[in-house]
Amino acid sequence: MLENPNYFLVNAQSLQIGRRFSALNADEDLEMGNVYVMFLMKKLNSVVTAADMGALFIVASSAAKRASGGRMRVLPESGTDQVGWSSSPEKEGAPRLSLEGVDDDGDALVSEFQHRVSLSRSRKPTLETIVEESVYSR
C-alpha cells in the first residue's frame, strides 16, 4: 500500500453490495488463497455498489478464461471442492450474476460503462496521405 498511496486494499470476501468498504490496514499481512482488490482512495468511505461488483466479476471471469483457455469451470460450493472440465460451459447452466433489487444508480453506472466500452472499440483512426512540397534554395 505504500507503493500505491492512491489505492486501498479490500478482501473480496468482505465486499457486499450496500455495505461500506472495509479496507485492510497497511501493516496487515495478506493470506494465501484469498483474493484482494485495489480501489481508489476516494471510494474509501463510500458504499459498495453493483457497478463495483460487476467490474470485479467481469475482470475475474476474463482472467479465469485466459488462464484456462475457456475449458475450466468452477462449480458452486456444495461442501466439496471440485473443478469441472467442460468444452462448452454455456450449455450447462452456469450461475449468472443477478442484479435484482439493486438501486437504479448502479444500473445506470453499469450501462454507462458498457456504453463507454462500446464506443472505445468502434473508434478507428483514419490515415491520410501527407503531401510534401520540395523547397528549392537558389
pLDDT digits (tens, 9 = 90+) for 42-83: 878 788 888 878 878 887 777 777 766 655 555 555 544 444
Q: 9 - beta bridge partners?
A: 38
Mean per-residue pLDDT of the chain: 69
Say if strands 36-40 and 7-11 run parallel, antiparallel, or are unpaired.
antiparallel
Mean pLDDT calculated for residue range 28-48: 80
- Residue-wise pLDDT for 109-134, tens only, equals 667 777 777 766 666 677 888 888 88
| Lookup result for grid cell 479496507 | 23
The three cell numbers of residue 98 are: 443477478
Distance CA 13, CA 10 (A): 9
Distance from the Cα of residue 65 to its chain's centroid: 13
The pTM assigned to this predicted structure is: 0.42
Could you give the percent of the chain with pLDDT greater than 70? 57
Cα Rg for the chain, rounded, in angstroms?
22
Residue 55's contacts (CB-CB under 8 Å, 6 or more residues apart) are 113
